[in-house]
Amino acid sequence: MAHRSWCAEQEGRTSNERLEFLGDAVLGLVVADYTYRNHPELSDGLMSKVRASVVNTKVLAEVALDLGVAELLRLGRGEDLSGGRAKDSILADATEAVIGAVYLDGGLAEAERLVLSLLKGRIASAVGEPGESDHKSRLQEQTVRGGRGVPRYEVEGFGPDHARRYLATVYVAGQRLGTGEGRSKKDAEQAAAQAAGGSLVVERGGGDA
């Protein structure tokens, strides 16, 4: 987890940039292979869009936060003081370095297992599958079908930059239905949607009684 800014202050130390290069290649291969094998209905253009939606700086930075990578980064003093642990580009590069290291240590099978454990749900969302992790889509289907409109989310961040967390609240037709917390805004919104979906089930159950 050695950033080049740290290596510049430590004579003879090597940064994780070579691992980033390797991890980026492995990541792209795994996502492309999984999409190709599991979604024969998609054209090459759509497969490219799916890959781009999950293999990008924002998503990989969120993954880094989920893994707790920010706390492990070795940054130069200036980079650290300027908020480097919260920069998407640095976090995304670190995620790629982790994937590269797993590939070198355990081979492609282990790297594939890691990548899919981190991104399989996002791939499903990008393709449009009603995956277990896509609570927002399911909630919207429920509320629209029930004539209550589209859910609205409010998200607040809290905590230090290197360990930032988010609290999301979801409203449907002006009514607060659920809250959720996560290491990224997307994760917090998904958690809130999951809680709201449970509330709707309870409401329907009460109405049927």
Q: Which positions are catalytic?
A: 24, 96
Query: Which residues, 6+ apart, have CB-to-CB distance to 103 below 8 Å?
Result: 22, 23, 26, 110, 111
Please report where in the chains the tokens 């297992």 appear, as a residue.
113
Q: What end-to-end distance do the CA atoms of the chain give, in Å?
A: 57
**What's the Cα-to-Cα distance from 26 to each of 8, 10, 96, 176, 208, rounded to whole Å?**
27, 29, 9, 42, 51
Q: Where are the alpha helices (DSSP H) in 39-87?
A: 44-54, 57-67, 77-81
At 70, is the secondary structure helix, strand, or coil?
A: helix
